[in-house]
Chain A
Amino acid sequence: MHRSIESLIRESDETGRSLATVVLEAEAAESGVPAADIRARIARTLSVMRSAIDEGLKGHTRSPSGLTGGRARKLWENGPRILGPRVTTTLARAIATLEVNAAMGLIVAAPTAGAAGVLPAVLVSVGEFAEMDEERLVDAMLVAGGVGGVIAHRASLAGAEGGCQAETGTAAAMSAAAVAWLHGGTNEQVATAVALTLQGMLGLICDPIGGLVEIPCIYRNASAAMQAIAGAEMAMAGLDFPVTADEVIDVMGEVGRRMPSAYRETAGGGLATTPSARRLVQLQPRTQPAGISR
């Protein structure tokens, strides 16, 4: 995988191959797996993403903790009131996947389970609105994966290491790149979409209530999906950002490293330690620990 957005783009510019092809060929060379097999596996990954969204929107899922379930359907049925249908639909889809995740359903961790709602919501929605065929969406997944690989190398993907900016921030940056690319953005615009989106996610702490990836996670996935669309929209309009994508990624890594541990998935600070959160967690029936089974 590439270690900078800059090198990814340089290789694409110099060889005349698309970003998707550059990422695909690098993966094929490193893993020894034929490119066609990699594409097929990504297509299967996409179908799992769709299934999770469909499952979540039915509204039947409930997490064992009782904290989440049914919210995606509520938004799906009640919206849109303020935003256009495209954005509201995307938000509902992001929440749907995270609700399925919390209920121990099947999802794709891209890049992590806690941030699993963003990329599917954005890709499925944009694919639907722009009537993209499946092969184009596979290409977009490759672009997203290439961006995620750079962030994994330069910063972090884990909330426990870098806060929520590392998880949903990365998911948003990956999604923004995919959307800009799908809409025919230049390599420069794809990079700008990454920078614009990730700068909007900087500093986001990871403070799950009860230590569970449920609340605020489901809502943060929705916010991240919106941030991704906004970043792509601004980049596609030709807006610039004075700091390069690689530099923004490095800053995200630096902020994460300097973040107190209370804000890194320990439930030791932030929303997790508010009186409301403590009350909510106390109200949940504590299931019996597994203990000894005979």
Chain B
Amino acid sequence: MVSLFDILGPTMVGPSSSHTAGACRLGLMARAILGGTPQRARIRLHGSFAATGEGHGTHRALVGGLIGLAPDDLRLREAYDEALRAGLVWEFEEVDLGDDAHPNTAVIEVSRDGDTTTVRGASVGGGRIEVTEVDGFAVALGGGYHTLVLLAHDEPGTIAAVAGMLAGHGVNLATMRVDRTGRHKDALMTIEADEPIGDEVLDAIREFPWLRWARRIEKIS
């Protein structure tokens, strides 16, 4: 759904909504999915991101997003210095992901305290983004909602249990998506909600015996 502020905005650091603001948001999403500022990042850029990213501040914006700078934060100009201060070590590579990949795609591998996660996403125009893969699982996350990502063992009743838990705490679901490696193997569930997902819901979900991990992603600006 297009909001009025997709048309009259975003308020952002230039020069390009897709190559700068969108790139920053992809960085923010990777950081949120990891659950904090990464210590290391390996960022692979495809298509137009690779070809014209340099002049559009795409690299800086991605690094800035990884350390938590928003698309309208003027410190994006000095994102490298800020990132060094934040303890981030990063590297960029160019990659060809094939003709099917969106021209503004980044694959971001981030790690922190031994945890590593790989996030693939694209900047799809006007600063809007779509994260399409988390650790090899297909997802569809725009960052515009309060989001919950769960990796669980594929068991019957999982979806109902999670949905019931959220409903019990007054959290309205906007979208829900499940992808799994196979029956009774790993399943990744992503839930986008209208309301913030509180600590007690998250703690309760983490008690489910079949849960591998659960991450909460704050709605990004």
Contact = CB atoms under 8 A, between A and B. Distances in A.
A95 to B, nearest CB: 14
Q: Main secondary structure on chain B at its contact with chain A?
A: mixed
4 smallest A-B Cβ distances: which pairs?
A: A101-B14, A211-B52, A148-B7, A158-B125
Interface string A111-153: 1111010000000000000000000000001101110110011
B15 A214 contact: yes
B51 A103 contact: no
Contacts of B7: 1, 110-111, 144-145, 148-149, 152, 157, 174
Interface in B154-212: 194
A282 interface: no
Interface in B59-83: 59-60, 63, 72, 74, 76-77, 80, 83
Interface stretch (B84-92, B131-139, B145-153): B84-92
Contacts of B1: 30
Interface string A252-294: 0000000000000111000000000000000000110111111
A292 B83 CA distance: 12
Contacts of A41: 5
A87 interface: no
Contacts of A64: 55, 57
A106 B18 contact: no
Given A157-B126, A161-B125, A104 B6 contact: no
Nearest to A116: B14
A288 to B, nearest CB: 9
Interface of B: 1-18, 20-21, 48, 51-52, 54-57, 59-60, 63, 72, 74, 76-77, 80, 83-84, 89-92, 103, 125-127, 194
14 contacts: A48-B11, A63-B15, A64-B55, A102-B15, A104-B57, A104-B74, A105-B14, A110-B9, A141-B8, A142-B4, A144-B8, A152-B6, A160-B125, A212-B15
A113 B15 contact: yes
Contacts, number: 157
A289 B11 contact: no
B14 A212 contact: no
A12 interface: no
A160 B48 contact: yes
Given A108-B11, A161-B125, 5 more contacts: A104-B15, A109-B12, A113-B20, A142-B4, A290-B90
A65 B15 CA distance: 11
Given A104-B77, A160-B103, A149 B4 contact: yes
A114 B8 contact: no
Contacts of A1: 2-4, 7
A213 interface: yes
Contacts of B15: 63, 101-104, 113-114, 212-214
Given A112-B17, A116-B14, A294-B89, A212 B55 contact: yes
B9 A109 contact: yes
B12 A107 contact: yes
A106 B13 CA distance: 4
Given A48-B11, A104-B57, A291-B91, A213 B4 contact: no
A211 B49 CA distance: 11
A72 interface: no
Nearest to B14: A101
Contacts of B13: 104-107
Contacts of B59: 289-290
A234 interface: no
Q: Which of A161, A210, A211, A267 has the most B CB atoms < 10 Å from its CB? A: A211
B3 A27 contact: yes
A144 B5 CA distance: 11
A290 B84 CA distance: 12
A65 B55 contact: yes
A139 to B, nearest CB: 13
